[in-house]
């Protein structure tokens, strides 16, 4: 089966999502979307995808696209995700899903009511140390879990180089709360079960 996936985002979308999806499925890359025309042309040339859309609306509404992966800054995701769901296309969106909780709820409610397949990407649950830790916790290999302390010590290149991007701008969905805490809450529940309070 060939899945005609449209990937919106020439950075993480093309470089990470495209590479990961292509390992699992015989994908036909129907297009990457980027607003700046020079970068779009370079992106299209690099990956050999055709067409390379200049606007995400063209990609979402293209009848040859079966599903959509969205990897843009969180403040841009709600409009794109909602349009893809309205078009009846399964959506794979990056975290954090949105800047405002109301937007995230709207996306979740629309996806549920339309019954369109959807997913938010928290990718650390696919790496071996996380999987092994979860297995050990589920098997009580270290005894009953009573207390969890989170220390996050991963620093990105952009932080070290002090490069300004959405991950450092809270109004675009970055900052500690959206970028770091969203990971923490997700993985705490993934490791240990639902948070009760």
**CATH 3.40.50.720 boundaries in the chain:** 4-121
Each of the 197 residues of the chain gets a pLDDT tens digit; together they read 677 888 888 777 766 777 777 777 656 555 666 555 555 455 554 445 556 777 889 889 988 889 999 988 889 999 999 999 999 999 999 888 899 999 999 999 999 999 999 999 888 888 899 999 999 999 999 998 888 888 877 677 777 888 777 777 778 777 777 777 888 888 999 999 898 87
- Predicted TM-score (pTM) of the model is 0.80
3-state secondary structure 28-60: EEEEEECCCHHHHHHHHHHHCCCCCCCCHHHHH
Q: At what angle do helices 182-192 and 128-138 cross, to 10 degrees?
A: 40
Rg of the chain in Å (alpha carbons): 18
What is the topology classification, in CATH, of domain 4-121?
A: Rossmann fold (3.40.50)
Burial tier of 74 (Cβ tally within 10 Å: 0-12, 13-18, 19+): buried
């Amino acid at each position: 089966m060939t899945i005609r996936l449209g990937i919106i985002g020439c950075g993480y979308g093309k470089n990470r999502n495209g590479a990961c999806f292509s390992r699992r499925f015989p994908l036909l890359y129907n297009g990457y979307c980027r607003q700046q025309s020079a970068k779009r042309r370079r992106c299209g040339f690099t990956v050999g995808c055709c067409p390379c859309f200049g606007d995400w609306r063209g990609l979402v509404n293209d009848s040859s696209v079966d599903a959509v992966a969205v990897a843009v800054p969180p403040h841009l995701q709600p409009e794109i995700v909602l349009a893809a769901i309205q078009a009846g296309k399964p959506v794979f969106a990056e975290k954090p899903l949105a800047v405002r909780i109301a937007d995230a709820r709207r996306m979740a409610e629309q996806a549920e009511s339309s019954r369109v397949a959807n997913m938010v990407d928290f990718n650390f649950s696919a790496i071996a140390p996380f999987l092994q830790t979860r297995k050990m916790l589920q098997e009580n290999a270290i005894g009953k879990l009573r207390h969890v302390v989170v220390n996050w010590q991963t620093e990105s290149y952009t932080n070290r180089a002090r490069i300004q991007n959405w991950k450092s701008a809270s109004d675009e969905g970055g900052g500690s709360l959206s970028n770091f805490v969203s990971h923490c809450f997700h993985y705490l529940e993934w490791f240990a079960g639902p948070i009760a309070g």
